Amino acid sequence: MPKRILAAAALAASFAMPAAAHHGWSGQEEKVTELTGTVTKGVSLAGPHGEMQIKVGTVLWEVTLAPPARTAAAGLKPGVIPVGATVTVRGNKSTEPGHREMKTILVVHGDKRYAVYPERN
C-alpha cells in the first residue's frame, strides 16, 4: 500500500513541475514599453525560454523571449543578431524592484521584426 501512495504522489508531482517552471506574465508590468540598446549577449535557446541581453545606457537588461521553438519559428535564432548590434525590444518589464528583465513581445533589428508573441503585439 505505501508503494502505491508513493507512486501516486510522484506521478502527481511530475504533472505539477512543468507548471511551476513556467512563470507566465504574472510577474510583469501590464504596461508595454520599448527599450533600445546594444546586444551584449546574443540569442540563446538553451532554456525554457529564449534569452538575450542588451545594454541600455549603463544598465544591463535581461531579455526573456518565447519558448525556444516559438522564438525560432519567429526567425530569431542564435547568431541572427550579432553582439554589438542595436535592437529595440517591446514587452513587459518585471515588477520586481531592481530586476532589469523584460518579457519580450517583439525584437526589431534593422528592418527585421521578430514577433515572438504576435498575439500580444
What are the contacts of 27-32 at 24+ separation with CB within 8 A?
A: 27/94, 27/95, 27/96, 28/91, 28/92, 28/93, 28/94, 28/95, 28/102, 28/103, 29/92, 29/93, 29/94, 29/95, 30/92, 31/92, 31/93, 32/90, 32/91, 32/92, 32/105, 32/120
Residue 10, pLDDT > 70, answer no
pLDDT given at position 23? 52
Domain ranges within the chain, ordered by starting residue: 23-120
CATH class of 23-120: mainly beta
pLDDT in tens, 34-86: 999 999 999 999 999 999 999 999 999 999 999 999 999 999 999 999 999 99
Average pLDDT, the chain: 84
pLDDT given at position 120? 78
pTM of the model: 0.77
